[in-house]
Amino acid sequence: MLEPSADGARLAIAEIEAQGAFAELRIDALEPDIRRDAASIASLVEGHAALLTWRRPADGGLSGSDEETRIRVLSDAARSARVWCDIELDAASAIDRFGLDRERVVVSHHDMQATPDGFSTIVDELFAARTGIAKIATIANRTSDLISHVEAAERARLEGRSLVAVAMGEKGVASRVMGPSMGAPFTFCARPDGRSSAAGQVPLDVMTGRYRAGAITGATFVVGLIAGRASYSRSPAMHNSALAQLGIDGVYLPFAVDDLDEFLAATVRSPTRRVPWSVRGFSVTNPHKTTALRFVDRLDPVASSVGAVNTIVVEADGSLKGYNTDVEGALQPLEAEYGVLRDARVGILGAGGAARAVVAGLASRGAHVTVFARNRAKAALVASDFDAEAGSLEDVNGARLDVVVNATPVGTLGDSEGKSPVPGHALDGVRLVFDLVYAPEHTQLLEDALTRGCRILGGRLMLATQAAMQFELWTGRKVSAERMSAGF
């Protein structure tokens, strides 16, 4: 909790407690006059369940001090208020020197740059410090760093230790959600308003509402999203909402994955599996849809014909089967909006896995399809598999198309938000523009289409339709696209 003023800190503590949680008060965020006075700090947390922390700048802290003053003020305030405090492993000698109750100390190690090679040795040292709780928090630069934290949490559970293992950043979100179910005494959340004190923190209301973290147990199954970037995705909200409404004991997690082979080996492959979770499968999105073909054991006919996988199911025997729900996910909303697609002139922007799915579906409906991409050769590779035409993005202008479908990520929240894969004048004469991007719901491409009198269709319905199909594959329960969209 980062609050500079005494009044702000008191209000924040009350708000957090009202939601059934307790606050970590970051002394390094307080105003200097308060930060120097142990009695003032103690008055903020006395009578509350709280954790006092004064983080050094090297550990992500906001203000510095000489080390002796920092530890003395932190210790005096914690003893006076009879609350927990956090002491770094390399400062652990201060625990006895300042008369702290070891059972009320969190001994911690932080690395704001990476997850170090000596990770397991650091965990050994944290356990050897003999305090009430050990904590390790390191930046997850690779998905394998998340797995290291999960392994440490499981080791602590098996050994009867109390450990909070947090992989910071987008790649580590699952460690925050799953930690308590693996024995961690608590996890760190952002304030409900989204204000966070570390990278990758999930807001408290999202942790308790969307993820139902307090209800996750060892029996809860895991499904999730495999993506290059996962933070923008609406899939966790949709799937978790449906799981909760149907009373199904499962959780859907976001995984930002850099090495798909390594990730699948660690989460679902035997004998290399390194996580204790019961995993039923994954959604797969950019940039892994075509790569996933190499790492599943079997393909359903649609995925095989498309040459891309957007859904992985872990079968009862542990094998992996790849599906593609993007085809019907895209075609059902498109047909509902446009009508019969036979002989329609349709341009597909992009040459990745999503583009392949839409082209395959349109070919089966008898549409005349042209694939447009920045790299014409890549467009030609996709087009040749489905007897379609190919061109570069510059060729869209003047192509006399009835429908344009954007199957690129251009326009998605982040670096490309506000951008369009083609200039607005390229849409002149087009009847319908369908953008598969769903975050944001109204992209620059759709704005340009509206100004030129085109009908528009956003990616939300496609996402919901294909998600409903995925949900049934993992759970055996049917849900409507409308139900999935309600959790958007």
Mean pLDDT of the region 231-251: 95
Of 439, 460, 378, residue with least CA distance to 227: 439
Mean pLDDT of the region 442-464: 96
Please write the tens of the pLDDT for every residue from 105-155. 999 999 999 999 999 999 999 999 999 999 999 999 999 999 999 999 999
Please write the tens of the pLDDT for every residue from 318-350. 999 999 999 999 999 999 999 999 999 999 999
Please write the tens of the pLDDT for every residue from 393-442. 999 999 999 999 999 999 998 889 999 999 999 999 999 999 999 989 99
DSSP sequence for 147-207 = HHHHHHHHHHHHHT--EEEEEESGGGHHHHHHTGGGT-S---EE-TTS--SSTTPEEHHHH
Q: Is the dihedral of CA 32, 35, 40, 43 positive or negative?
A: positive
DSSP 3-state assignment of 282?
strand
Would residue 164 count as lying in a domain? yes
% of residues, the chain, pLDDT over 70: 100
Would residue 56 count as lying in a domain? yes
Residue 189: per-residue pLDDT: 95
Domain count, the chain: 3
Least confident of 140-154, 158-172, 195-209, 267-281: 195-209
Mean pLDDT of the region 381-395: 96
Please write the tens of the pLDDT for every residue from 1-18. 789 999 999 999 999 999
Of 44, 47, 18, residue with least CA distance to 30: 44
Place of tokens 């073909």: 293
Q: Which of 182, 200, 216 is the last residue of a domain?
A: 216
Per DSSP, 48 falls in state S
Query: Could you give the CA distance from residue 48 to residue 31 in angstroms, rounded to a whole number?
Result: 21
Specify the CATH number for the domain of residue 176: 3.20.20.70
Is the model's pLDDT at 196 over the cut of 80? no
Mean pLDDT of the region 363-379: 97
Residue 429: per-residue pLDDT: 96
Verify that 104 and 152 share a domain, yes or no.
yes
Residue 415: per-residue pLDDT: 80
**What's the pLDDT band for 488 if we cut at 50, 70, 90?**
confident
Verify that 390 and 252 share a domain, yes or no.
no
Question: In the numeric block, which tokens belong to residue 57?
Answer: 């700048």
Q: For residue 462, is it left (φ>0), alpha (ψ between -120 and 50) or beta?
A: alpha
Question: In the numeric block, which tokens belong to residue 130?
Answer: 């003999």
% of residues, the chain, pLDDT over 90: 93
Neighbours of 120 (CB within 10 A): 13
Residues annotated as catalytic are 289
DSSP sequence for 233-273 = -SHHHHHHHHHHHTT--EEEEEEE-S-HHHHHHHHT-TTT-
Mean pLDDT of the region 35-53: 95
Output Rg (C-alpha) for the chain, integer angstroms: 26
Would residue 332 count as lying in a domain? no
Residue 195: per-residue pLDDT: 73
Would residue 372 count as lying in a domain? yes
Q: Is the dihedral of CA 325, 327, 328, 333 positive or negative?
A: positive
Would residue 361 count as lying in a domain? yes
Verify that 251 and 377 share a domain, yes or no.
no
Residue 123 lies in domain: 6-216
Specify the CATH number for the domain of residue 280: 3.40.50.10860
Question: In the numeric block, which tokens belong to residue 485?
Answer: 């969209």
Mean pLDDT of the chain: 95
Mean pLDDT of the region 439-453: 96
Q: Under a CB-based contact definition with an 8 Å cutoff, are residues 210 and 180 in contact?
A: no
Q: For residue 257, is it left (φ>0), alpha (ψ between -120 and 50) or beta?
A: beta
Neighbours of 104 (CB within 10 A): 18
Of 126, 140, 118, 54, residue with least CA distance to 90: 126
Residue 312: per-residue pLDDT: 98
Residue 486: per-residue pLDDT: 85
Residue 1: per-residue pLDDT: 75
Verify that 301 and 373 share a domain, yes or no.
no
Q: Which of 167, 201, 216 is the last residue of a domain?
A: 216
Please write the tens of the pLDDT for every residue from 148-175. 999 999 999 999 999 999 999 999 999 9
Would residue 329 count as lying in a domain? no
**Backbone phi, psi, residue 32, to 5°:** -55, -40
Verify that 230 and 271 share a domain, yes or no.
yes
Place of tokens 């590779």: 381
Of 148, 136, 135, residue with least CA distance to 174: 148
Query: Could you give the CA distance from residue 40 to residue 84 in angstroms, rounded to a whole number?
Result: 16
Question: In the numeric block, which tokens belong to residue 292?
Answer: 């996933």
Would residue 265 count as lying in a domain? yes
Residue 280: per-residue pLDDT: 98
Query: Could you give the CA distance from residue 319 to residue 262 in angstroms, rounded to a whole number?
Result: 16
**What's the pLDDT band for 194 if we cut at 50, 70, 90?**
low
Query: Could you give the CA distance from residue 360 to residue 402 in angstroms, rounded to a whole number?
Result: 18
Verify that 157 and 243 share a domain, yes or no.
no
DSSP 3-state assignment of 409?
coil
Would residue 407 count as lying in a domain? yes
